[in-house]
C-alpha cells in the first residue's frame, strides 16, 4: 500500500510563508487525486484543497483561497502546499490525503505536520 | 455549502457494547458519505465510503448505512481500540468537501 511522508512544518511568524511536502512511496501517485486537510488544536477536520491526478484542476476552501497553492510533481511523486500570508488561525496539524479512485473519500493519509503561526 | 451535523458529541460505553453514531447533512448528499476514525495523535483512518462500503482491512463489526441526509455508523461489540473520535464527511456537494464536528467515543 502506498505511504505518504510529510515534511516542511514548523514555526513561522504571522504574514510569513511555508511550503509543505508530501512524498508518496509508489509511482502510482500519478493516478491519484490528492487533498490537504488540517486540524487545529483540539478541533475537527477541515478540508483545504484538492488537486486532480494530472494537476490541471485545483480547488480551495474559502479560508485559504488566494493564500495557499496546491501543486504536484508526479515525476517526484510529491504533493506540495505553498502557504503564504499565514495567520494565527492557520495554526494546525496539516495532513495530505490520497483519494479513493472515483471517490473523494481518502484512504491513505500522511502522518501530519504541525504548523504554528506565532510571533 | 453542505453542513454535516453529528450526534451525539460524546458517548460513554463499555467494552462489548454496540453503538450507532449519527450524521445528518443539511441537504441531500446521495450516498457520497464517508466515515473516519481518529485515535489520539494519529491521522484519520477511512472506515466506510459510499455510505456503506467498508474500506480495505476494516473489520466487519463496522457498518454504515443511510442515504440522502441521514446516515449512521454502527460498531458492534466495542473493543478497546475502537474508543476514538469518529468523523463523517460528505463529498457530493463540493467544493468544499465538508466534515462533521466529530463524535467522541469514551470508555465508561
Lookup: cell for A33: 487525486
Please name the residue that has the C-alpha cell 496539524: A93
Contact B99 A45 (CB under 8 A): yes
What pLDDT, in 10s, does the model give residues A1-39?
A: 899 999 999 999 999 999 999 999 999 999 999 999 999
Q: Report CA A94 to chain centroid distance, whole Å.
A: 6
Q: Is A41 exposed, middle or buried (0-12, 13-18, 19+ CB in 10 A)?
A: exposed
Contact B45 A35 (CB under 8 A): no
Q: Binning pLDDT at 50, 70 and 90, where does residue A102 land?
A: confident
Q: In degrees rounded to 5, what are phi and psi of residue A48? A: -115, -45
* Interface residue ranges in chain A relative to chain B, Cβ cutoff 8 Å: 35, 37, 44-47, 50, 59-62, 95, 97, 100, 103-107, 109-112
Three-state SS string across chain B, please?
CCCEEEECCEEEECCCCCEEEEEEECCCCCCCEEEEEECCCCCCEEEEECCCEECCCCCCCEEEEEECCEEEEEECCCCHHHCCEEEEEECCCCCCCEECCCEEEEEC
Q: Binning pLDDT at 50, 70 and 90, where does residue A101 land?
A: confident
Cα distance between the two ends of chain B: 36
- Per-chain mean pLDDT for chain A: 97
Average pLDDT (A59-67) is 98
Q: Binning pLDDT at 50, 70 and 90, where does residue B37 land?
A: very high
Cβ-Cβ contacts under 8 Å between A and B: the total is: 64
Measured between CB atoms, which of B46, B50, B99 is closest to A47? B99
From chain A, the residues in CB contact with B34 under 8 A are: 103, 105-106
From the CA of B90, how many Å to the nearest CA of chain A? 8
Do the beta carbons of residue B99 and residue B88 sit within 8 Å?
yes
Q: Binning pLDDT at 50, 70 and 90, where does residue A65 land?
A: very high
- Per-chain mean pLDDT for chain B: 97
Q: Binning pLDDT at 50, 70 and 90, where does residue A98 land?
A: very high
Average pLDDT (B35-53) is 98
Residue B88 has pLDDT above 90, yes or no: yes
Paired residues of B75 in beta bridges: B19, B62
Q: Binning pLDDT at 50, 70 and 90, where does residue A103 land?
A: confident
Amino acid at each position: 500500500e502506498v505511504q505518504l511522508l510529510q515534511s516542511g512544518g514548523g514555526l513561522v511568524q504571522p504574514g510569513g510563508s511555508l511550503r509543505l511536502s508530501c512524498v508518496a512511496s509508489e509511482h502510482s501517485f500519478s493516478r491519484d487525486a490528492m487533498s490537504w486537510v488540517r486540524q487545529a488544536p483540539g478541533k475537527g477536520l477541515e478540508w483545504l484543497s484538492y488537486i486532480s491526478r494530472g494537476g490541471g484542476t485545483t480547488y480551495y476552501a474559502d479560508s485559504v483561497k488566494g493564500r495557499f497553492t496546491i501543486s504536484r510533481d508526479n515525476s517526484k511523486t510529491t504533493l506540495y502546499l505553498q502557504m503564504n500570508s499565514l495567520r494565527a488561525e492557520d495554526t494546525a496539524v496539516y495532513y495530505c490525503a490520497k483519494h479513493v479512485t472515483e471517490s473523494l473519500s481518502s484512504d491513505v493519509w500522511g502522518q501530519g505536520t504541525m504548523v504554528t503561526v506565532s510571533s | 455549502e453542505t453542513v454535516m451535523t453529528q450526534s451525539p458529541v460524546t458517548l460513554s460505553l463499555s467494552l462489548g457494547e454496540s453503538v450507532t453514531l449519527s450524521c445528518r447533512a443539511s441537504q441531500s448528499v446521495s450516498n457520497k458519505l464517508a466515515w473516519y476514525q481518529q485515535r489520539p495523535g494519529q491521522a484519520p483512518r477511512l472506515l466506510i465510503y459510499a455510505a456503506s462500503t467498508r474500506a480495505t482491512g476494516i473489520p466487519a463489526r463496522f457498518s454504515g448505512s443511510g442515504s440522502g441526509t441521514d446516515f449512521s455508523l454502527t460498531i458492534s461489540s466495542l473493543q478497546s481500540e475502537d474508543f476514538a473520535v469518529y468523523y463523517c464527511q460528505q463529498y457530493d456537494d463540493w467544493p468544499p468537501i465538508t466534515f462533521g464536528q466529530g463524535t467522541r467515543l469514551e470508555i465508561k
